[in-house]
Structure 1
Amino acid sequence: MHFVTHININSWTHYIAARILSNAEKKRALGRCNSFMVETIVLIAFASILISGIIIGTPLLTSLFIGLALFVGYGLWRGYSAGELAHMALSGVKTVSHVLILFAIIGMLTATWRAAGTIPFITSWSAVLVKPSTIVVTSFLICCGMSFLCGSSFGAAATAGVACFTIGEIMGANPSILGGAILSGCFFGDRCSPMSSSAALVGNLTRTNVQENIGRMMRTATIPLVLSCIAFTILGMNGSGSSVTPDFSQAFSSIFTLSPVVLIPIAIVLVFSFAHVNVKKTMVISLLSALVICVLIQRMSILEIPSLLLFGFKTTNQSIAPMVNGGGILSMFHLACIVSVASTYSGIFNGTGLLDNLRCMVKKIAERTTPFIGVLLTSIITAIIACDQVVCIMLTAQLCDGCEGSGSALALDIENSSAVIPALVPWSTSAIGILAFVGAPSTSILFALYAAFIPAWTVVLSVYERYHPEFVESKSAQLMGLKRYDDIRLVNESMAA
C-alpha cells in the first residue's frame, strides 16, 4: 500500500513538474513570438518611414532621426532605461569616429585640389581624348580615373562627369547610355579608391585594413571593368553629331595656372598608396602639397586658406563654376551627420538584439546558398529601403556579420554589393545626386553596367567556389583577389584543427 502511494506521489510530482516546465516553455515561446512580431513591426515601420520620406521629399537625415526615435521606443519596450539606450547609441557613434575624422580630411583635400588647379588640369586634358565614336567608353574610363583619384562619386560627377556629359551631348551621344557610363565610372573609385569615404567606412565596420581591401577590390573588379569597357564601346558606336570638342583649357586658364606641377598632389596619393603608406598620412601630405601650390602657383592669399578648407573652393566665373566649385569640411557635414545618426542604430541593435532574428535568417540563406548571395540579397533590400549608400553599407554590415568567417571576406562582400547596388536604385540618393550633377536622365540607371557586373560576377565566383572548394586556393583565384579565408568552410576547418 505504501509502495503504491509512493509511486503515485512520484508520478504526480513528475506530472506537475512536467506541466510547470511545459507552461514555462510555452511562455518563453510566446515571448519569443511576441518579440519577433514587435521586431518585424518596428523594421517595417522603419522601412515605411524611409520610403515615404523619399516620396514626399523629407530629408534623409530627418527620416533617420525618426527611425532613431522608433528604435529607442523599442528599447524602452524591452525594458531598457533611457540612460542605457543613450550609452548604446554613443557606443555606435564611437565605432565610426575614425571615419568622421577622415571625412573632414577628404573635404579639405577635395577643396585644395580644386583651388590648386589639379582637377581643372585633369578635366582639360581629358577633353582632348574624346571622339564621337568613343565618347561613351572614354567618359566611363575618365570618370573611373577621376573617382579613383578623388575617392568620391559626387566629386567625379561634378568635375569629369559634367565635362564628359557636356562634350557627349555636343557630339550627339545617347543621353541615357552616356549617363549610365558616367554613373558607372563614378562608382568605380567610390568603391575602391584609397580616398573613398565608403571604403574607409567598410574598413572601419569590418575592422580590416583599407589598403589590403583596396588591393583585393581592384583585382576582383578586373573582369567587370573589361566587360563594361566592351559593352560601352559597342553601345557608343552609334553616336553621331558634331566632332567639335569644347575648349575647357581656355576657360580654366582664365582662373588657374595649368602647369604640370599641379599634378603633384595626385602623384603623392598614387605613389604613397602603392607604397602602403597610411591613408590619413597620405591625404594630409597631399593636402599640404596642394596648399603650397595654391599659394605659390595659383597666387592665393594665405588668409584665404581657412575659408577654403572650411567652405570649399568658389569661383565667380559662372561658366566653369559647376565643374570646380565645391569641397571643404562643410561639404562633408551632411554625410557625417547621416553616418553619425545611422551609427547609433548599430549600438542599439547590438544592445537590444533587435536584429538577432533577422540576422539568423540572413545567415540561414547564406548557408543554403553562398555567403555572398546572403550579403547581396541583404544589400538589395537595405538599398531599396534605406535609399542611401552609407545607410545601406552600415545596415548590411550589421545584418551579415555572421555570414563570413573573417572581416576581410565580409569587407569584400560588402564592397561588391552594398557599395554599388545603390547606383541601380532609382530613388537612391547616390544615383539621384550623380545624375542631377551631370544633367543625365533617370533612364541612365538602366545602363549603369559596371554597378551590375560587379555583384553578378561575384555571384558567379561564389557559386563556383561552393562546388569547387579547392578553387579559392588556386593561383587564378589569387590573381582575382580571392584568399583562403574567403571560403568560410576552410576557415571553420582551420579553427577546428
Structure 2
Amino acid sequence: MNKTMTFWKAMIPLTLMILAMLYTIVVAEGAPHIPLLFGALVAGLVAWWSGYTWEDIETGMYKGINLALPAIVIISLVGLTIGSWIGGGVVGTMIYYGLQLISPSLFLVAIAVICAIVAISIGSSWSTMGTIGIAGMGIGASMGISAPMVAGAIISGAYFGDKMSPLSDTTNLASGLTRTDLFVHIRHMLYTTVPAFTLALIIYFIMGRNTGNGNASTGDIEKTMAALQDSFLISPWLLLVPLAVIILVIRKVPAIPALAVGIILGFLAQIFVQGGAAGDAVVTLYSGFSIESGNEVVDSLFNRGGLSSMMYTISMTIVAMIFGGILEHTGMLKAIVDQILKVTKTARGLIPTTIVSSFATNLTCSEQYISVVVPGRMYARAYTEHNLDSRNLSRAVEDGGTLTSVFVPWNTCGVFIYGTLGVHAFEYAPYALLNLFVPIISIIFAWIGFSIVKISDDEKEKILEETRDLDERSVV
C-alpha cells in the first residue's frame, strides 16, 4: 500500500483531539493526558489507513519522545532545585530581602526586569522561572499581589531574556534551522520584542500602582518576614547559591551541570546552614519540603518542590510528544502546511501565516520546539520564493512559536509553568503581556511592511540552488 497523507486525513486526529481536550479541560476539569493519548491513537489509525506500518508509527512516537528528552532532564532538575533551595533557606532568603527592597507598587516591573536580566545571562526561561521565579511568586504573595499577575510578569521577563540571549536553545534553534546568523536573528527580533516589552512594563507599572494601594498591609508583610525568620536561618551568604548558578551559565557551563551545582549547594545548605538532618535533605530532594509555620502564606509557598512534584509535568511531556511525533513523522503536519501555502499568495500574508501556524503547532503538538522546527522547515522555500530574507522566517517562528507556547495548558511550557509557579495557563494568560503583544506586533509589521527584509532575484536563485538538495532530504 502506498503512503498517502491528504489534508483531510491529517485533520481527523487534530480535530478529534481538540474536541476531546476542550471537553476534558472545560467540562470535566480533568488532566490533558488522556485527550492527547486519544489523539495519538486516532493519528496512529489514520496513519495505518494511509499506508504506514506499525514500525513507522512507532518510530514517530520514539522520535517525538527523543526530542523532549532534554526538556525532561531540565524539568527533573528544576524540581530538585526548588526542593533543595527551599530546604536550604535560599528561597526564604531571596523572599525576605525582596520584601525589604521592593515596594509593592514597583514589584511587577521589578520582577519582570530582574527575570529578563537573568534569562539573558543564562539563556533559559525555564531555569529563570524555576529559580528567580519561585522567589518572585513568594514575594508577590507576601505583598498581597494576585498570583496570576505575578506569574505573568515573571513569564514576560523570562521570555524576553530568553529570546534576546545568544545562549538560548530556541534562539539558536530558530537561527540554525533557517540558516540565519545568530546575532542577525537576535537583532531582527528587537523590532518586535523591545516595543512589546516596553509596553508590558508600562502596563505593569500602572497595574502595580493600583495593586500597591491595597491588598497587603505593612503588618501582613512584617508577619511574613517574621515567619520566615522563625522557619529559616536567613543569611545574605545564601544568595551566593543562585549567584553561583548564574555565573556558571554566563561562563558557558551547560544548564544541566550548572543546575546540578545549585542542587548540591542547596542540599548542603539544608544540612550545614539550616541544621537539618542529611536524611531529611534527601527526602526533600524527592518529595519536596514540608513546613508548618502557622503562617498561611509561608506554608503555601514552601510546601512544594522535589522530583515527585514534576512527575505530572514529565508524564505530560512524554504523552504530548507521542502525539506530536506521530503527526510529524507520518506527514500529517506537512499535509496541513502544504494546504495552507496554497492560499498564501503574497509575502505580506506569509509571515502572519507562519505565526498562526506556529501557534497551531503549539496547540496540536504540545511542544515549542516542534512549533519552531516544523514551520521553520516547511516554509523556508516559500520565503525564498517570495524574496524574503531568512531572518523574517526565524523571527516569525519565534514570535508565533516560542512565545505562544505558554498559553497552551497541555503544551510542555504551560505544564512546566503550572508545576513551577503553581498558576494555570488560563489564569496567567491575560498578564503574560510580552507573550501576547509580540505576535500581534509582528503581524501588524508584516501587513504594513515595517522591518521586513527582502532579497534580490539573484540572491533568491542562489539560495534556491544551495538549498535544493537539503529541502529534498527534509521531506518525510
Give the TM-score range, shorter chain.
0.7 to 0.9
Equivalence for 2:454: 469
Amino acid at match of 1:54: I
Equivalence for 1:120: 92
Q: CA deviation at 1:377?
A: 0.9
Q: CA deviation at 1:193?
A: 5.1
Q: CA deviation at 1:276?
A: 1.9
Distance across 1 between alignment mates of 2:153 and 2:60: 37
The one of 327, 331, 341 equivalent to 1:353 is: 331
Q: Relative to structure 1, is the Cα distance of residues 100 and 409 closer, same or farther in structure 2, using a 3 angstrom cutoff?
A: farther
Equivalence for 1:476: none
Q: 1:13-53 CA distances to partner (integer Å, 9 max, x unpaired)? A: xxxxxxxxxxxxxxx9xx97x93332223322222122222
Unaligned runs of 5+ in 2: 382-388, 467-476
Q: Does 1:416 pair with 2:391?
A: no
Q: Relative to structure 1, is the Cα distance of residues 150 and 65 closer, same or farther in structure 2, using a 3 angstrom cutoff?
A: closer
Conserved? CA contact 2:351–2:392, under 8 Å: no
Equivalence for 1:93: 65
Equivalence for 2:438: 454
Distance across 1 between alignment mates of 2:39 and 2:457: 34
Q: Relative to structure 1, is the Cα distance of residues 39 and 342 closer, same or farther in structure 2, using a 3 angstrom cutoff?
A: same
Conserved? CA contact 1:151–1:190, under 8 Å: no
Equivalence for 1:246: 221
Equivalence for 2:19: 48
Conserved? CA contact 1:114–1:313, under 8 Å: yes
Equivalence for 1:9: none
Amino acid at match of 2:158: G
Q: Does 1:286 pair with 2:262?
A: yes
Q: Which has the larger radius of gyration?
A: 1
Conserved? CA contact 2:77–2:259, under 8 Å: yes
Conserved? CA contact 1:314–1:324, under 8 Å: yes
Distance across 2 between alignment mates of 1:438 and 1:327: 11
Amino acid at match of 1:69: L
Q: 1:215-236 CA distances to partner (integer Å, 9 max, x unpaired)? A: 9499744443222222222344
Displaced runs of 4 or more, over 6 A: 145-150, 154-157, 201-208, 405-411, 425-429, 435-444, 487-492
RMSD between superposed Cα atoms in Å: 4.4
Q: Relative to structure 1, is the Cα distance of residues 490 and 154 closer, same or farther in structure 2, using a 3 angstrom cutoff?
A: farther
Q: Does 1:328 pair with 2:297?
A: no
Distance across 1 between alignment mates of 2:241 and 2:347: 48
Equivalence for 1:475: none
Q: Relative to structure 1, is the Cα distance of residues 298 and 458 closer, same or farther in structure 2, using a 3 angstrom cutoff?
A: farther
Q: 1:287-317 CA distances to partner (integer Å, 9 max, x unpaired)? A: 2222222222122222233322222222232
Q: CA deviation at 1:123?
A: 1.3
Q: Which sits farther off after the overlay, 265-274 or 220-229? A: 220-229
Q: Does 1:184 pair with 2:168?
A: no
Conserved? CA contact 2:334–2:378, under 8 Å: no
Q: Which sits farther off after the overlay, 183-192 or 76-85? A: 183-192
Conserved? CA contact 1:159–1:324, under 8 Å: no
Q: 1:420-445 CA distances to partner (integer Å, 9 max, x unpaired)? A: 33555799894997699778997864
Q: Which sits farther off after the overlay, 298-307 or 114-123? A: 298-307
Equivalence for 1:59: 31
Equivalence for 1:296: 272
Distance across 2 between alignment mates of 1:328 and 1:217: 38
Conserved? CA contact 1:111–1:309, under 8 Å: yes
Equivalence for 1:317: 293
Q: Which sits farther off after the overlay, 416-425 or 322-331? A: 416-425
Distance across 2 between alignment mates of 1:69 and 1:419: 27
Q: CA deviation at 1:329?
A: 1.8
Distance across 2 between alignment mates of 1:413 and 1:441: 23
Q: Does 1:224 pair with 2:196?
A: yes
Conserved? CA contact 1:187–1:420, under 8 Å: no
SS in 2 for 1:401: helix
Unaligned runs of 5+ in 1: 1-27, 170-174, 471-486
SS in 1 for 2:6: helix
The one of 110, 129, 153 equivalent to 2:82 is: 110
What is the aligned-residue identity percentage? Answer: 15
Amino acid at match of 2:82: T
Q: 1:131-185 CA distances to partner (integer Å, 9 max, x unpaired)? A: 454355345446667887873657766542253144145xxxxx6xx84454132
Distance across 2 between alignment mates of 1:332 and 1:203: 26
Q: Relative to structure 1, is the Cα distance of residues 101 and 444 closer, same or farther in structure 2, using a 3 angstrom cutoff?
A: closer
